[in-house]
Amino acid sequence: METSRATRADLIDPAQLASLGRMEIVAKWVVDGFLQGLHRSPRKGFSVEFAEFRPYQPGDDLRYIDWKIVARADKWMVKQFEEETNMRAAIVLDVSKSMDWRGAPSRLTKLAYAEQVVAALALLLIRQKDAVGLIRYDETLRSVIPPRARNVQWRRIVSALEEGGAGNDSDMSAALVQAGKLVSRPGLVVLISDLLVDEEATLNAVKVVRAGGHGVTVLHIMDPSERDFDVSPEGVFVDPEREGLRLPATASEVQEAYRSTVDHAIAEWRSKLAALGVGYEVVFTDSPFGVPLRRAFASRQRLP
């Protein structure tokens, strides 16, 4: 496959790309294209080789303050060093029934899109010598794979992505708490979901993960039809996670209220997660795979 900017796999329409091969093949194409377009910025830590200075933050080790800069410029600066150890990460994937939906036959379902993002992100982290694990959940934990950095780990993750799921409910709280336990020292938890869940319970679980010292990034997966209300003039609206809940309506009757509700929900998630120090990004299933990959990978670079 060509790897110019116009044809890099991470920039191609996701449904078109996914139709060209198996999940692991597509993931490799995506990661290869992504790495070619990436301006590498290594993560910093306290180790052997000096890298640069950064402003002092409460809790930093006083041994690494550069007192010469303090005396000369009255600025508290801390020395940063290239880190010897690798990061540990856990990817948490929602496989509940609401994820198994798409607004148009030409697009991937939210779950199929998210699975490809997981496969690519896991491969990317392993190539960066980071340990990565996976939790898949609906109303129960479907897969729990502890973080490892070996190449065989990626095969385990891809195999798990091909297993069943799509239960009616989403027990996100249990999945997030489990992810925090899997990452034995401060690392990264990436949640990939459509966030059709209990908001209060989810935020409480995020607080538990953050209390463990972990960075958290949420990729909110949405189909464009969920944003634009791209439906026929009349229809019957069904909640995929509540059997028997059907509501006939005319699109024009609910379109404006619907869009306002969606915008409000996104703003609420963004505000409340930001208050917890959590990264939050909305990702639409017609976006090239490089979009969520770049946003999730940026979280790795921001870790202290």
Q: How far is CA 87 from CA 45, 204, 214, in A?
A: 11, 24, 11
pTM of the model: 0.79
Contact 78, 54 (CB under 8 A): yes
Mean pLDDT of 152-176: 87
Where does the chain hold its CATH 3.40.50.410 domain(s)?
Answer: 9-39+85-302
pLDDT reading at 301 higher than 70: no
Q: What is the pLDDT of residues 56-88, one digit of tens each?
A: 766 666 776 777 777 777 777 776 554 444 789
Which residues have a Cβ under 8 Å from the Cβ of 158 and sit 6 or more positions away? 23, 24, 27, 119, 122
Rounded to whole angstroms, the Cα distance separating 258 from 186 reads 39
Contact 61, 40 (CB under 8 A): no
243: left (phi over 0), alpha (psi -120 to 50) or beta: beta
- In words, the CATH class of domain 9-39+85-302 is alpha beta
Gap between the terminal Cα atoms of the chain: 37
pLDDT reading at 150 higher than 80: yes
